[in-house]
Structure 1
Amino acid sequence: MSRSARLLQLIEILRAHRRPVAGTVLAAELGISLRSLYRDVATLQGDGVPIAGEAGVGYVLGPGLTLPPLNFDVDELDAVVLGLRLVEKRLPNGLGDDAGRALAKIEAVLPKGRSAADVHLLVGAPATGSAAVLDTIRKAIRTEDALVIAYRDRNGDASERIVWPIVVGFFDAAEMVATWCEMRGDFRHFRLDRIERIGLAGRPMERRHRMLLAEWRLYREARDTG
């Protein structure tokens, strides 16, 4: 992460808190040393960002930092907040934490008199798969790496596969990952909560992800219309 991106992230973290945050907490969240945090705070203060506090006490973002309001209409705000609440509830770690921070950012820039708390739509879908499994799949998709998984099917039969992850789907009962399975030489789908072990296979996929995605979509269309 560049230092400019880190400074922006520091502002966003402070914006999400109403009370002073200890320097050690901020440094840990940013993945930097306490000394680097002190330098970053000093830089932002020198640029006019209203950060109050000091080393050993904690830091809080004061009034005076303004951003243009987000002018969602009622239905748009309902949709955005509901979607983020769903991710936060369904994936309590990883993406769920990101959704919570995104919701706090939206709350901070809504016009005066409007609040995400006014959206009376609740989410009750629990998480079914492992957040660590999902994070590994997401990273492998981004880097186009093959994965090795230990899987137990609905009959209790265990197998180990090398797969090329394509896309993750979220359904009422479970999360599913669509893959190209080397053992079967075809597309296969696996429930995340039945993956007992997952890791990188140590080599890239043999086809680019965008090609796999296009082929998988054609495969799904053929099955749906067949």
Structure 2
Amino acid sequence: MRRADRLFQIIQVLRRATRPVTADAIAAELETSKRTVYRDIAALLGQRVPIRGEAGLGYVLDGGFDLPPLMLTSDEIEAAVLGAQWVAARGDPALARAARDLTAKIAAIVPERLRSVVLEPSVATPPPWEQKMETVDLAQVRAWIHAGRKLRLYYADEQGRETTRVIWPCLIGYHERARLLIAWCETREDFRSFRADRVVDAEFLEDRYPGRPAVLRQRWFAAMEVRRAAECEGLQ
């Protein structure tokens, strides 16, 4: 890897990290030595790149620093195109439209030599399964998730039995055959998953639930880890 490319990749590693990254971790990802990483960090600091930290503890990139948006590699472009293909075929109407717009914007801004990677990609997703009609507006659900507001769901289970739940939505899972609304259920006092195609009706309440949506999501991820660990123990 050329030195200029390596410096760029170090910035990318730090930019996507949520905690300090050690020289060991950077060296492993870039397949180089720690000594080279130390020299590269020093070079970036000499170019006024706002990196904080020190050897042995890890490095972070201060907020506000960015690189020109056109500096995308061929692999990064195809990753974006592949993701956009999947969302265009399986996302709700608003996200599907956004995915098609994203592909068009990428094709418009990348250098000419990389345009074929967008317009004639070497990657593709399989055709989607036919999905059932949904009555709930998932675009509005996403807006309510961002706002941390509650929903009242009128929901039918697999046997068609209807219940009414007030929930704290925190995530929408886009699966091959269904979309799942992940939420804290006030009735069950626990996390529950609701298939969007089984929602009979939904009321978008103005009430906010306690805490931030990101914290609620972390609680759900933690609960899933505990459940998976328990299932693994049961199989042993």
The normalised TM-score by structure 1 is 0.64
The counterpart of 1:168, out of the listed 168, 172, 175, is 172
Runs of 5+ consecutive residues of structure 1 not aligned to the other structure: 1-67
* Shift in Å, 1:222: 0.6
Alpha-carbon distance in structure 1 between the residues aligned to 2:215 and 2:107: 38
Tell me the equivalent position of 1:185.
Answer: 189
Q: Contact 1:144–1:209 (CA<8 Å) still a contact in 2?
A: yes
* Shift in Å, 1:92: 5.7
* Shift in Å, 1:157: 1.2
Kindly tell me: are residues 94 and 199 of structure 1, through their superposed partners in 2, closer, same or farther at Cα, counting changes over 3 Å? same
Q: Which has the higher mean CA deviation after the structures are superposed, 68-77 or 117-126?
A: 68-77
- 1:102-181 pair list within 5 angstroms: 102-113=102-113, 114-115=115-116, 116-123=118-125, 124-126=127-129, 128=131, 130=134, 132-181=136-185
Tell me the equivalent position of 2:86.
Answer: 86
Alpha-carbon distance in structure 1 between the residues aligned to 2:134 and 2:110: 33
Tell me the equivalent position of 1:70.
Answer: 70
Q: Contact 1:149–1:162 (CA<8 Å) still a contact in 2?
A: yes
Provide, for residues 84-138 of structure 1, a one-character-per-residue CA deviation record: whole Å limited to 9, x for no partner.
1111111262111111111111000121132212204333125736385311210
Tell me the equivalent position of 2:202.
Answer: 198
Tell me the equivalent position of 2:38.
Answer: none
The residue matched to 2:137 in structure 1 has which SS? Answer: helix
The residue matched to 2:182 in structure 1 has which SS? Answer: strand
Q: Contact 1:146–1:163 (CA<8 Å) still a contact in 2?
A: yes
Task: State, as a whole percentage, how many aligned pairs show the same letter.
Answer: 30
Provide, for residues 149-177 of structure 1, a one-character-per-residue CA deviation record: whole Å limited to 9, x for no partner.
11111121111110000111112221111
Q: Which has the higher mean CA deviation after the structures are superposed, 125-134 or 136-145?
A: 125-134
Paired residues in the alignment total 159
Kindly tell me: are residues 173 and 138 of structure 1, through their superposed partners in 2, closer, same or farther at Cα, counting changes over 3 Å? same
- 1:28-67 pair list within 5 angstroms: none
- Look up the equivalent residue of 2:121 and give its one-letter code: V
Alpha-carbon distance in structure 2 between the residues aligned to 1:212 and 1:162: 15
Tell me the equivalent position of 1:22.
Answer: none
Superposed CA RMSD in Å reads: 2.1
Kindly tell me: are residues 110 and 131 of structure 1, through their superposed partners in 2, closer, same or farther at Cα, counting changes over 3 Å? farther
The residue matched to 2:172 in structure 1 has which SS? Answer: strand
The residue matched to 1:94 in structure 2 has which SS? Answer: helix
The residue matched to 2:93 in structure 1 has which SS? Answer: coil
Provide, for residues 173-211 of structure 1, a one-character-per-residue CA deviation record: whole Å limited to 9, x for no partner.
211111000111111111111112112123111333232
